[in-house]
Amino acid sequence: MHGIVLCVHSDFYDVQSDDGLVWQCKVLGRLKREKRRSTLVATGDHVDIEPVDSDRHMAVITAIHPRRRTLSRLRPGRGHPFEDVILANPDEIMVVFAVAEPEPNLRLLDRFLVAAEASELEIFIVINKIDLGGEDRAREMFGEYEQIGYRLFFTSVKQGLGIEAVRRQLRDHITVVAGPSGVGKSSLINAIEPGLNLRVGEVMAIGKGRHTTRHARLHPLSQGGYIADTPGLRELGLWDVRPEELSDYFPEIRRHAPNCRFALCTHIHEPDCAVQQALAAGLISPRRWDSYLRLFHGEE
């Protein structure tokens, strides 16, 4: 049988088979003995399982399929680093912000987007709480992100607005959720999948405690797809970006960089810089440029 790993415990795995049943699984001994440079079985992995006790939903994992993509941390080891896979096969990342409460900090949104870009997943942005200011004002506030090319969704969990469009976007995908505290991430997920019953108004335990090993957990969506509970983007190591990589993570800068005279242009002081020309021509927003400069110089 084929299944997907929902969650990793210390020595067993919860695996959901295609018929929706959840099996408690061990891994076949032979697989454990193989040499590897990466986590043997991670949340999100596609696996083959064979039931050992169907009544008690116990099974054994007999094969692990190759991963299409991973969110992982590299652990330095002897010779070569070991890849700690936190989540296998993620598809997309949903960055949630609010129109108000908390007051939106666009520099922080830029920070989240840089970390999201570093993950190389598809990105979309949800602007929640439009009941506190109206969709028009929200579109005005966040319109520049649409111009850059990001997909934006506007929602109010409180008034039930825009939820269906987000639900459609999540269908059949493994989605990582990110965003500052209090913007309504848990509320939004509960609105999309009421059965999940995530706690609202309470900071998620995930992301706390630096030394505990934390794994992702997948929450199945009844329409197909999964919401991934992961440690934050910071804990995934996506927060720290080397200055020379930074321009890759601003799509509107990345777009112009190939036309710079120097391949390793920082776009700050070099001659014949296509990014500087785009900035002067008004093709890059001065506010985003300022975010780039601050991040380049290591400011939060």
Ligand X SMILES: Nc1nc2c(ncn2[C@@H]2O[C@H](COP(=O)(O)OP(=O)(O)OP(=O)(O)O)[C@@H](O)[C@H]2O)c(=O)[nH]1
Of residues 171 through 210, those in contact with Mg ion by CB under 5 A are 185-186, 204
Task: Return phi, psi of residue 198, to 5°.
Answer: -70, 150
Q: Mark the segment that binds ligand X (CB under 6 A) among 17-25, 125-133, 240-248, 290-298.
A: 125-133
User: Is residue 206 a contact point for ligand X (CB under 6 A)?
Assistant: no
Q: Is 181 in the site for ligand X (CB under 6 A)?
A: yes
273 binds Zn ion (CB under 5 A): yes
Q: Per CB under 6 A, does 156 bind ligand X? A: yes
Facing residues of 93 across strands?
123, 176
The answer to whether the CB of 60 falls within 8 A of the CB of 52 is: yes
265 lies in the site for Zn ion, by CB under 5 A: yes
Instruction: State the nearest-atom distance from the C-beta of 213 to Mg ion, in Å.
Output: 22
Rg over alpha carbons for the chain, rounded to the nearest Å, is 21
186 binds ligand X (CB under 6 A): yes
Residue 219, interface with ligand X (CB under 6 A)? no
| Residue nearest ligand X by beta-carbon distance | 184
CA 57 to chain centre: 31
Reading the block at residue 296, the tokens are 């380049």
Contact between 156 and Mg ion (CB under 5 A)?
no
Contact 243, 285 (CB under 8 A): no
For strand 58-64 and strand 46-53, is the pairing parallel, antiparallel, or unpaired?
A: antiparallel
SS3 145: helix
Q: Is 105 in the site for ligand X (CB under 6 A)?
A: no
How far apart, in whole angstroms, are the C-alpha atoms of residue 14 and residue 26? 9
**For binding to ligand X (CB under 6 A), which residues are involved?**
128-129, 131-132, 156-158, 179, 181-187, 200-201, 203-204
Binding residues for Mg ion (CB under 5 A): 185-186, 204
